[in-house]
Structure 1
Amino acid sequence: MPAPPSSLIVGSFVLLLMGNGVSQAQPAASIEARADRLVQASLLVDGHVDLPSRLNAFYENPADSTVGGDVDYPRARAGGLDAPFMSIYIPPYLQSNPAAATNRADALIDLVETIATDHPTEFALATSPNEVRQIATTEAVALPLGMENGAGLGGDLDNVEHFYERGVRYITLTHGAHNRLGDSSYDDAAPRWSGLSPFGADVVAEMNRLGIMVDVSHVTDATARDAIEASAAPVIASHSSCRHFTPGWERNVSDALIQSIADTGGVVMITFGSSFLRTEYREQDDPIRAEMNAHIDARGWAEDSREAILYEEKIRDEHPIGTVQDVADHIDHAVDLVGIEHVGLGSDFDGVFALPEGLQDASGYPALVAELLRRGYGDAEIRQILGENVLRVWAEVEATAERLQE
């Protein structure tokens, strides 16, 4: 698409500066109302939400308003969120104990299943795009699953099918350290495999065969390139933003990798975490967190106590870093590179400390949509970004699996 128009706020109006030089004034309130209607009418899929790990550390009823974190049922409904992928996160420290890593994955899946069983009106498990669409016709929020860190497989190829049967529909190949599948962008040690390992290549092939999306968030460029080349199906980055805005930071995806992911038919899902948005934001939260932790320690509160959780959320709310415009800039950049059909959203809610103003929890999606409307995106384009693109990719991964199983 051509470069989106810019906008100026003049009084209570938003002045859209169109590419042809013609300006259109729309009341700011009407754009916000339109954005709210659009998120409620669209199918909104978020590629990565760490609610299971958050509840594993400090359990609250997610069907009701919670004091911790970013996502619960009331906030999801307020923000129009229909299907947050539940992150089945395996901490790197468990990688040295394969059985413990696999057990953690199973335990977190158990937790998500319990949420859906205990609160069937509010939540329902989803294992296919069609199930997501069906659940979206009800009042429930769909809960698809993605495993974050292939270490959860425990080095056993048979576990790919085990976790498919348990509902996992994407696997992020690595997390914070090199593992048996490949190299991690977060690991300061020398590369272990210089890309995807032989076992990692076998895992990718098995994921293709079963219908599990290959996720290249967190991996090194070399690992991503190898995974993209090895995959017979479209590839995703479930929660990564554009390295263009954070030069030298490999955790975000480069322009070349965005293009390579798009060439597979895949999608890059832009994340909201402040550190992903601009280089200058990457360490701004360090002193905030240090002061917060000192306050918690001084009062003798346990890290997982209600008092500590309440205080942490107060500090997070008071210290947003970045803006909704920053997130929209990443969307613009990816769209300009590869087109609207290869861009989605992967907030990383409940997995990051600092978030931008206006996007500090799951009720904030309309603020981002309003910004996209101000920049000239149409309703159909926004629906693609909100969920239709990743659902298309998911369906194509399923179709690839059907062909490979013939």
Structure 2
Amino acid sequence: MRRFAFAVLALSIAGSLHASEPTDVAKKLAQDAVIVDTHIDAPELALDEWHDLGKRTPEREFDYPRAREGGLDVAWMSIYTSHDADETGKAWTLANNQIDFVTSLATHHSDKFALLLSPKDVDRQREGGRVLLPMGMENGGPIGDDIKNVEFFYNRGIRYITLAHGGNNRISDSSYQRKGKWGGLSPFGEQVVKEMNRLGIIVDVSHLSDEAVRDILKLTDVPVIASHSGMRHFTPNFMRNMDDSLAKEVAAHGGVIQISFGTVFLDADAAKAFDTRRWTLEDMKAAGKSQAEMEAWADQWKKDHPAPVLHTDAVVDQIDHAVKLVGIDHVGIGSDFDGVSGELPVELKSVADFPNLVDGLMKRGYKDADIRKILGGNMLRVWGEIEAKAQRK
């Protein structure tokens, strides 16, 4: 245990020595640009331990003061439910409780936060330094078997839905499963996508199997997004990340790939370890191992496989690859802050750190206008196109 702790300390020291302060020019651009982060997991964490995110909250990676320090304007709140919650019938309640948390945050801190329901309202609502909170549902499990629930969640403020998460569900196959159930989208999933198109809810293809993504692209008449994914080019055989050929198809349909900051998305060894851990736990569960046994094994595994120490360059590498592959108009950012257990690059540990990303992009030669596209312009454009084609009555 002491040896492990010492190793983590040594890696932390090494990482801090590598870190550098962003330039004043980078800080200024981060404050001036509209920064849109399409995936922050604050609502899920609030179910276990509530914090007032209107104040500085060191236990979390997102709060209001640090969002303003980093220049974050639009922080998509992830309404996450697990595959297990879906199977046990808890997904509906968990999703609505998280939506209540986000709406309450905006209500109690109306000078700091505002719910965002349309990209048309960004400039008006962010006046006075407010951080805007649109909501995306991570896992379509709460929809259940009733197509009417898609509109129910639209009316509650949901503006994108990630159709599946850790397991194959009623809607779609998951990238995390070794074998699909539907060979892509289910028949019900096809109805869900059509209804999302009608309402103007963005279809999010992160977490889905390649076959499901292809099914969606054949079906949808508007662009889609990958709200928080990496590029599989850097993590071979890690199906959770976006394959180059699929990324091209998403872009050809007008969509955007939002690059995540989590080390598991950025590093091949971390991705391989993640998959091995997941599959081992699934095998243990199938073999009848107790929850305590599985948790003990998982804890030891994490100690034996610490996250790699990465830096901003690892994220910029992914952005570079995506831009060269699909073009500057189809790449954005979806950090996964509060969702990857702190396993993040040294210089990108919280929402205060967006100037470090801007600095990294500047050092690679990106022009201000293109940086603005990556930071949020591309995502807002796509959202506007999807909203414009909605056919709500």
TM-score (norm. length: structure 2): 0.84
Which secondary structure state, in structure 1, belongs to the residue aligned with residue 332 of structure 2? Answer: strand
Q: C-alpha offsets along residues 44-100 of structure 1, whole Å, 9 cap, x if unaligned?
A: 0001000101122111110111131211111111111111100000111111244x2
Partner residue, 1:265: 254
CA distance in 2, matches of 1:29, 1:258: 32
Q: C-alpha offsets along residues 350-375 of structure 1, whole Å, 9 cap, x if unaligned?
A: 00021011001111111011010011
**Aligned partner (choices 332, 351, 358) of residue 320 of structure 2:** 332
Which secondary structure state, in structure 2, belongs to the residue aligned with residue 134 of structure 1? Answer: helix
1:55 equivalent in alignment to 2:46: yes
Residues 31 and 373, structure 1, Cα contact 8 Å, conserved in 2:
no
Partner residue, 1:95: 86
CA shift in 2, pair 1:58/1:30, >3 Å: closer
Which secondary structure state, in structure 2, belongs to the residue aligned with residue 282 of structure 1? Answer: helix
1:341 equivalent in alignment to 2:329: yes
Superposition pairs for residues 356-367 of structure 1, below 5 Å? Answer: 356-367=345-356
Partner residue, 2:28: 37
Partner residue, 1:76: 67
Residues 170 and 188, structure 2, Cα contact 8 Å, conserved in 1:
yes
CA distance in 2, matches of 1:104, 1:29: 40
CA distance in 2, matches of 1:283, 1:209: 39
Which secondary structure state, in structure 1, belongs to the residue aligned with residue 121 of structure 2? Answer: helix
**Aligned partner (choices 216, 219, 229) of residue 227 of structure 1:** 216
1:205 equivalent in alignment to 2:194: yes
| Unaligned segments of structure 1, at least 5 residues | 1-27, 287-314
Q: C-alpha offsets along residues 199-223 of structure 1, whole Å, 9 cap, x if unaligned?
A: 0000000000000000000000001
What is the CA-CA distance between 1:174 and the residue it aligns to?
A: 0.4
What is the CA-CA distance between 1:155 and the residue it aligns to?
A: 1.9
Q: C-alpha offsets along residues 329-352 of structure 1, whole Å, 9 cap, x if unaligned?
A: 000000001111000000000000
Residues 224 and 254, structure 2, Cα contact 8 Å, conserved in 1:
yes
What is the CA-CA distance between 1:134 and the residue it aligns to?
A: 1.8
Which secondary structure state, in structure 2, belongs to the residue aligned with residue 355 of structure 1? Answer: coil
1:398 equivalent in alignment to 2:387: yes
Give the letter for the 1:85 counterpart.
W
Q: C-alpha offsets along residues 202-259 of structure 1, whole Å, 9 cap, x if unaligned?
A: 0000000000000000000001111111111100000001000001111000001110
How many matched pairs? 345
What is the CA-CA distance between 1:121 and the residue it aligns to?
A: 1.0
CA distance in 2, matches of 1:103, 1:359: 33
CA distance in 2, matches of 1:172, 1:33: 37
Give the letter for the 2:326 counterpart.
V
Residues 84 and 143, structure 1, Cα contact 8 Å, conserved in 2:
yes
1:134 equivalent in alignment to 2:131: no
**Aligned partner (choices 270, 290, 299) of residue 281 of structure 1:** 270
1:241 equivalent in alignment to 2:230: yes
CA distance in 2, matches of 1:55, 1:199: 31
Residues 320 and 360, structure 1, Cα contact 8 Å, conserved in 2:
no
Residues 43 and 136, structure 1, Cα contact 8 Å, conserved in 2:
no
CA distance in 2, matches of 1:132, 1:227: 28
**Aligned partner (choices 140, 162, 168) of residue 150 of structure 1:** 140
CA distance in 1, matches of 2:245, 2:24: 37
Partner residue, 2:286: none
1:163 equivalent in alignment to 2:161: no
Give the letter for the 1:55 counterpart.
A
1:172 equivalent in alignment to 2:162: yes
Superposition pairs for residues 309-324 of structure 1, below 5 Å? Answer: 321-324=309-312
CA distance in 1, matches of 2:37, 2:27: 17
| Unaligned segments of structure 2, at least 5 residues | 1-18, 276-302
CA distance in 1, matches of 2:389, 2:307: 45
TM-score (norm. length: structure 1): 0.82
